[in-house]
Structures are given as C-alpha cells and as structure tokens.
Structure 1
C-alpha cells in the first residue's frame, strides 16, 4: 500500500473509532461531519437506515452514554478500493454482543474530508 493509502486508511480508522465513542454518537454536529449525505446502513437488526434516521437515533442508541455500555472495536483493517474510497472491516463488542462490521468511506473533497458512505453490522451468534 502506498504512503497515501496508508494515511487514508489511518484517517478513516480514526474517524470510525470516533463514531463508536459516546461523544461521537451523542453529538449530532460530529455525526453530521462523519456521515456522508448519501449514507446508508444495514444494522445488525436488519433495519435499513438513511442519514436522517441515523442522525436522529444515534444519541439514544446503546453506546451513546458515558455511563452505559460502550463499543469495543477489534481487528480493524482497511483497504483503499479506489482513490477516495476506503473499505474497513472489524468486530465490535457491546454489552456482551459481538458483531462483524463493514464500512465504506468516501472522500469527495478535502473540505468535508472522509465520510462514512455505507455501513453494515452482522451479529455473531454465541459459540
């Protein structure tokens, strides 16, 4: 991977981790900066989310409270698929539930920076 590719992946990982924090989930302003205008998610419940519904729900979802369960991410890796497109895969634990996750981030311009375009979470059944 090129130096540009490595720095893109590192920046996207930092932004993904920010979205997993209580501060990132409870701050609409921060979430608006990190979610692409065309954002779509298929959640672990199977529900399809668009940007407005996600922005409204994030502050009350699990992982948004400092004194509640919080996401723990692991095995995060990224690949540059094309200029301005990064794909991340990782796992999370939240309140004893494990999920495998995949995010596609895109960078349309330097002003808005990297934004999450697509996210999918798949629950991992108990062993």
Structure 2
C-alpha cells in the first residue's frame, strides 16, 4: 500500500508543478511533465495535443506570478495500475471553477511522471 501512496503523492507533486508559472512559461520544463502522447480536453471544450499544449501553455491563464493562479482543492488520486495514477480535483482561477481529471504515467525512472490525459469541466456559478 505504501508504494501506491508514494505513486499518488508523486503524481500530485507533478500536477502541482504544472500549475507553477515558472513551469507553464518554460517549454523545456513543461515538456518534462507532458507525455509525448498527451491529450487534453479543456474547460472550453477544445482538444489539445502535446505540441499544441507546449506552444500555447505560456499564453494560458495562471502563467503570471502577479496575476491569478490556479488554486487546487480536494485533490485525490488512485493507482489504476503500476505506473498509472488517476487524479481528480477542483480548481479556481479568477473566480472560475472547474472539476479536473488527470491521468499520469511513469514509463521509466528517466522520464518520471508525465501527464498522459487531462480534462477540465467548468462548474457553473450556480452549482454547489
């Protein structure tokens, strides 16, 4: 059980690094955390590939130390298989809330944990 808890903790740490403006504005740092087969379905409904995300990430919200930043809450994870962790949580940024789901995989010690899939679903203001 400890090994599984360690995998979840490592995936959470990687997820939080992706919210760091220093990582979001650095193609090299972001590349380390995104799997080459990465796909995201954003809160806007847009589908993003690995290359699209690396190109656009520096221009997306949450990239300024002075501006609004992602505030995650209720982050939990489960090991689906060795080297595969599913995280769920909520974020708030600039007054907008979203429910998020990420799949992280670790194919080798060299690559470490990389986000394979991410989806964000907006939470309407009237939702509890």
The two structures share one fold, judged by TM-score above 0.5: yes
Task: Name the structure 2 match of 1:78.
Answer: 77
Structure 1 unpaired stretches of 5+: none
1:1-127 to structure 2, matched below 5 A, reads 2-127=1-126
Question: 1:119 offset after TM fit, Å?
Answer: 0.1
Question: 1:23 offset after TM fit, Å?
Answer: 1.1
- Distance in structure 2 (CA, Å) of the matches to 1:46 and 1:88: 19
Structure 2 unpaired stretches of 5+: none
What is the CA deviation profile of residues 77-108 of structure 1, one whole-angstrom value per residue up to 9, with x for unaligned ones?
00000011000000000000000000000011
What is the CA deviation profile of residues 4-53 of structure 1, one whole-angstrom value per residue up to 9, with x for unaligned ones?
10011001000100101111211111100000000000000000000000
RMSD: 0.6
**Structure 2 length-normalised TM:** 0.97
